[in-house]
Structure 1
Amino acid sequence: MKLIVIDSELSQSKSYDFDRRWIHVFLAGLAALVLCLLTLTWVVVERGNRIEETRAQLDGIQQDLLAQQYDLDSYYTYVERVMIEQAKRAGMMEARISRVEALGGRLADTAQIADEFDFYSLPAIGGPAEEDLALVHTTALPPVEDMTGEGALAIPEVDVAPQSLIEPESVSESLLTDTYKNLEQKLRYRQQELVSLQNLLLDENIHKEQYLAGKPVTSGWLSSKFGKRIDPFHGRVAWHKGVDFAGDWDSPILAVASGVVVWSGERYGYGDMVEIDHGNGYATRYGHNRKNLVKLGDVVTKGQQIAEMGSSGRSTGPHVHFEVLKNGKQVNPRRYIYRKAF
């Protein structure tokens, strides 16, 4: 093969003879070089595309992680705030229980009641203890090569557990739940004690109010006893169904126990009289009053003034005729007048 080269400036030409085999080798080498360059270019471009895809996936995962971390932080911030509020409520409830215990203790001491109403001791509670469990959430991402194939960029494992889960706060939800259960049980126990104490004190107070004891006057003297006596009007022996307390005009006449007025007005032989029903079969009568201060159906308390001393009816002077009736029959008032108060 001959190659002619012409120089335009010198108007000369040169010719070169080449072996056809070398020309073939040169062309083959040139073609191989071009092919290698094209292959290398394709590899570089494909590699770059895969890297970009991997980076895009990594950015998406990181955005998801940030969103999840934000949601978790928001949730545990809310939980922590709720737990703080619940802890405050538990403290207030404990303070109220303490005041109830103090009040119940003072009432129990004042009433001198049995030891089962011991408000200074803890209530009898118990049960098996449960193990405390710490919950730790850890989430790891799979390697990127599992998603994009061999040779992709490696993505490290990411721990998305919030610090509040890894290291629980000193006040946990389970602890607050147990505290509430104990407080509720304690409060129910104290409420039952207070109700029982209230009923006991009410019964005791009612019994105390209904307990017949004392004189129906604040001043004066016993002028006539219960039983046989000489009747001041006809001079013969007669049965006196009560006792008489003489005193000054308008002196207060008092109820010796609480009850309901079943009579208030004039009655034969008694003049102006008040009769009080005290329950349990007991009743008292107060006769010869100048003025009655209560009316039928009134509820009177122990020691309340019910009348003013006078001399109405069959009477020789200002006094009160006092009777005690048990199951409708007059009994000697002496044992009730002088017995020890409840």
Structure 2
Amino acid sequence: MQLIITDARLSKSRSIQLSGLRLCAVALGLSLCLMLVSAVLYHWVFLKGAREGWPVISTLVRLVVRDEVAQRERFMRENIDVMAKRLGEMQAKMMQLESLGERVSGLAGINPADIRARPGQGGVLVAGHDLSMEELQAALSDLEKVSQQRTDVMTVIESRLFEQKIKQMMVPTELPVKDVSLGSSFGWRIDPFTGRSALHTGLDFPAEVGTPILAAAGGVVVAQEYHPQYGNMIEVDHGNDLITRYAHSSRVFVKKGDLIKRGQKIAEVGTTGRSTGAHLHFEVLVQGVPQDPQKFLNAGSHLAALGKR
């Protein structure tokens, strides 16, 4: 493209040669300048009109602001409704947790009334349609406090149940010899050596030599020695003045001071000491007084049956 510029006064002319690229650059530059000037004028006129309250400008500003506020409120309302719904679900689960805690507390031997976080209250579900942000925050704060209280309650219950479990593990309710029939029971009988009536202070479990002897409960070995009457003997202290005695063993696998657990193999059946044949003589002593071991073993069988239900 060629432009010719003529000066009539000087009788001169000048030609300008514009290529396609130059023409596009000129057009783009003019467009940018026009857009910049328009934006500056629009911004200046709009701000000035908004400050001075020009009718048309003020109406446009109110429409824009009102639309933005409506959108913001609608967004907040939708989010509050969703949060309120989730809060209601959490409160319902918290009520279920409270009910569960009351039932479990009975197993732990705790009075539910003593651990209830809010006596006589179970919480109210929140309806989210008219709920404000402040009310939602207050409800969340209350729920957090209740959650902490439930956590403390469950911790107490867990501690109590663990304590009971430990106590059960320390009571001799496990059969010391498996899969054998009971021989002589606890009580008065005719002594096989003297032929006279005598008190049999434990239970006899006839078994082959080498049959494993298991600890009836966890505890500490307080005696492991050879006794003229009991032969190779083991005594285990279970606390609370409760001791179990295992006699006539052929081999012993623990020593005094050992900490043992329920069901652990501590010896093997034999016929050492005052014995007429291979068997385990098993005793339970409370404060040094022999008790009928069958009562403890029956209690263990009852607990096992309850656990299978």
Could you tell me the TM-score, scaled by structure 2's length? 0.56
Give the letter aligned to residue 81 of structure 2: I
Aligned to 2:219: 260
Which of these two proteins has the greater Rg computed from alpha carbons?
A: 1
From 206, 211, 218, the counterpart of 1:247: 206
Q: Is the alpha carbon distance of 1:231 and 1:190 closer, same or farther for their aligned partners in structure 2, counting shifts above 3 Å?
A: same
1:61 aligns with 2:58: yes
Cα deviation for residue 242 of structure 1 reads 4.8
Aligned to 2:289: 331
Instruction: Answer yes or no: is the 8 Å Cα contact 2:174–2:215 preserved in 1.
Output: no
Q: Is the alpha carbon distance of 1:66 and 1:216 closer, same or farther for their aligned partners in structure 2, counting shifts above 3 Å?
A: same
Once superposed, what is the RMSD of the aligned Cα atoms? 4.7
Q: Is the alpha carbon distance of 1:309 and 1:245 closer, same or farther for their aligned partners in structure 2, counting shifts above 3 Å?
A: same
- Percent identity reads 28
Gaps of 5+ in 1: 1-52, 127-167
Aligned to 1:184: 144
- In the TM superposition, 1:249-288 aligns within 5 A as 249=208, 253-256=213-216, 258-262=217-221, 267-269=226-228, 270-288=230-248
Gaps of 5+ in 2: 1-48, 123-127, 301-309
Give the letter aligned to residue 170 of structure 2: Q
SS in 1 for 2:162: helix
Structure 1: distance between partners of 2:53 and 2:135: 45
Instruction: Answer yes or no: is the 8 Å Cα contact 2:234–2:247 preserved in 1.
Output: yes
Q: What is the aligned residue count? A: 241
- In the TM superposition, 1:19-168 aligns within 5 A as 57-108=54-105, 114-116=111-113, 123-124=119-120
Give the letter aligned to residue 341 of structure 1: A
Structure 2: distance between partners of 1:95 and 1:305: 50
Aligned to 2:125: none
Cα deviation for residue 247 of structure 1 reads 0.9
Aligned to 1:310: 270
Aligned to 1:300: 261
Structure 2: distance between partners of 1:85 and 1:291: 71
Q: Is the alpha carbon distance of 1:58 and 1:272 closer, same or farther for their aligned partners in structure 2, counting shifts above 3 Å?
A: farther
Cα deviation for residue 246 of structure 1 reads 3.8
Structure 2: distance between partners of 1:318 and 1:279: 30
Structure 2: distance between partners of 1:177 and 1:90: 10
Cα deviation for residue 199 of structure 1 reads 2.6
